[in-house]
């Protein structure tokens, strides 16, 4: 089997995707630590519509026995691996598909979690909102990269 070719990926895609993923790891780590130690220690208001403690301690903050913060940390760590510059440059369709699947899963989870915050819990968490915005931006960067790497409209990875 021949060695895969390296491909050109614009620098801004390499570094913005990795940067977003690393910031997501940082925020998700903070949320995970506070989940297991002291949820009230979150540096966030705890009254009114902005109430991180209410959001992160609600029954909705755990899915199938796993804290959402831990799921977010696992997702962010996986996205760090998938957005490493060396991985971006590999021309392997399955990696591109996995990166897109991860970014899509993140964006879909954001939609679900924002719904839960607004309509089930009745409050929003600033830290959660930050990671939500990061996930949506990362999804946009990954989609843009697919178009940028396939100007003929076939979309990279669909070979």
How far are the Cα atoms of 34, 113, 137 from residue 67, in angstroms, in the given order?
A: 11, 13, 23
At residue 76, the pLDDT reads 98
Q: Domain 11-146: what homologous superfamily?
A: VKOR domain (1.20.1440.130)
Output the six-digit token pair for 136: 């949506």
Q: Cα torsion for 110, 112, 116, 117, to the nearest 10°?
A: 10
At residue 149, the pLDDT reads 67
131 in Cβ contact with 27 (< 8 Å): yes
User: What predicted TM-score, i.e. pTM, was given to this entire model?
Assistant: 0.86
Distance between CA atoms of residues 88 and 67, nearest Å: 30
pLDDT (tens digit, 0 to 9) for every residue of the chain, 159 residues total? 445 566 778 899 999 999 999 999 999 999 999 999 987 777 887 778 999 999 999 999 999 999 999 999 999 999 999 999 999 988 888 999 999 999 999 999 999 999 999 999 999 999 999 999 999 999 999 999 887 766 555 554 444
Distance between CA atoms of residues 74 and 28, nearest Å: 9
Other CB atoms closer than 10 Å to residue 58's CB: what's the count? 18
Distance between CA atoms of residues 76 and 152, nearest Å: 31
How far are the Cα atoms of 20, 63, 68, 153 from residue 72, in angstroms, in the given order?
A: 13, 11, 6, 32
Find the helix or strand (DSSP H, E) in which 51 lies. Answer: strand 50-51
């Amino acid at each position: 089997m021949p060695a895969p070719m390296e491909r050109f990926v614009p620098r801004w895609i390499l570094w913005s995707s990795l940067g977003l993923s690393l910031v997501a790891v940082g925020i998700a780590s903070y949320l995970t630590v506070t989940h297991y130690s002291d949820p009230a220690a979150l540096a966030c208001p705890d009254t009114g519509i902005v109430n991180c403690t209410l959001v992160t301690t609600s029954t909705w903050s755990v899915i199938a026995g796993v804290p959402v913060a831990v799921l977010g940390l696992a997702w962010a760590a996986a996205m760090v691996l998938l957005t490493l510059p060396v991985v971006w440059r590999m021309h392997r369709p399955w990696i591109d598909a996995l990166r897109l699947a991860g970014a899509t899963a993140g964006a879909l989870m954001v939609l679900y979690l924002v719904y839960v915050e607004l309509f089930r819990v009745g409050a929003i968490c600033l830290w959660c909102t930050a990671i939500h915005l990061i996930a949506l931006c990362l999804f946009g960067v990954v989609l843009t990269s697919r178009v940028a790497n396939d100007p003929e409209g076939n979309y990279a990875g669909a070979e």
